Amino acid sequence: MAAVNDMEKKLAEYKCDTNEAVCLKLVRFPEDLGDESTTFHPEYSHQLFGDDEVAFGYKGLQIQLYYSAGNLSSLFKVKYTARVTDTFDCVEPDDVEGKIREIIPAGFCCNTDDFISLLEKEANFKPFGSLLHTYKVHNVEAGEDLTYQIHKVDTSCPGFREYHERLQTFLMWFIETASFIDVDDDRWDFFLVFEKYNKDGETLYATVGYMTVYNYYVYPDKTRPRVSAFIYSGESARAHGCQLTITSTEDPSENYVKLRDFVLVKLCLTLPSFSSEKLSQGFSEEMVSEAREKLKINKKHARRVYEILRLRNTDMSDEEKAKEFRLEVKKRLYGPYRKNQRELTKMQKCLRPEELASHISQMDTRLQHEELEKSYQDVLAEYRRVLERLAQA
């Protein structure tokens, strides 16, 4: 038994955290290749390496997946300081190279010199699609404003399909439940964000992020765009996200909801129906209509924006005003519990006493009030975070 435990300990030394082992770069200059500060790592790797996000069979494993900043030409290398077969003949390491090859398209480099030669061609890269918007974001470290462009493109644009095959590999590392897009479906639109930068006196473009939007059919003759995924690199992700109007998303993450709340609140501040005077009069159809017509925001999100801005205008140290706000939010949150009460009324007519008692125990009033209070406190904390961010903007 001791020998078995000793063997397990030795084999455990050959396990590597794949979120640390995978090294990503968006390379602008040859010197970036040796600069650790330009390296970033995935948030997720379970879709390739399993739920434990571990690769077995290596010590000092480093999976290098580097992209040229503009065209996303790729360099792929696997390095390690030791492999399990060096010590144990009968144990096979995981095929990490094979797993990466499953997601990266053909045509990548395995030689650094070949990749550097591709970097020299980056000056020929120009953003795909049509230019929608140009904006600036102040970079504290550089001490200057950086210029960004948003382009809209679809799969009919020459060269974009191949570029998108390389671009979408980032989904696997930063979207928890990602899957690749069917580019043959022409209802997809793509919004790309590029940074303009200077290299040897020339203006070049670096890929900063992108967003995919699917145009759902709405009966009888309309479509409704829905954001499916978006990814941004660097510390200014929120600033870039705010430049794109976010209306809805599939399976929104917590970070996405925070960003969506901030963007929509900022947008609705420009609408007359969300003025301080109107906010004090309560949530209205005017708000719903104006948010829908001018910003394509649905009623559910308009209501959430109203509550955030109502909190902003409420003196919570005033007991009466605080109570008024609390009751209004709780009234909305109480909807599911009200539904339960209606179901209980129906059950009283058709269930036997013992069945009814069982259902009533599951709908305990005291417990419902506790859950309602917790929901309100959670919402209040979320709203305050949005307002703190708004105050800093």
CB 152 within 8 A of CB 193: no
Helix (H, G, I), strand (E, B) or coil at 166: helix
176 is catalytic: no
Q: H or E stretch including 370?
A: helix 365-392
CA dist 324 and 162 (Å) reads 56
Q: At what angle do helices 319-333 and 335-350 cross, to 10 degrees?
A: 50
Helix (H, G, I), strand (E, B) or coil at 153: strand
Which of the residues 162, 250, 343, 370 is marked catalytic? 250
Q: Return all residues near 37 (Cβ < 8 A) that are at least 6 apart.
A: none
Q: Which residue type sits at 279?
A: L
Closest CA to 227 of 206, 209, 208, 244: 244
Count of CB atoms within 10 A of residue 204's CB? 19
CB 356 within 8 A of CB 347: yes
Q: At what angle do helices 365-392 and 254-268 cross, to 10 degrees?
A: 60
Query: Of how many residues is the chain composed?
Result: 393
For residues 343, 345, 350, 353, the Cα torsion angle rounded to the nearest 10 degrees is: 110
**Beta-strand relationship, 22-27 and 62-68:** parallel
If 0-12 CB within 10 Å is exposed, 13-18 middle and 19+ buried, where does residue 211 land?
A: buried
CA dist 350 and 240 (Å) reads 56
Count of CB atoms within 10 A of residue 238's CB? 16
Q: Which residues are catalytic?
A: 250
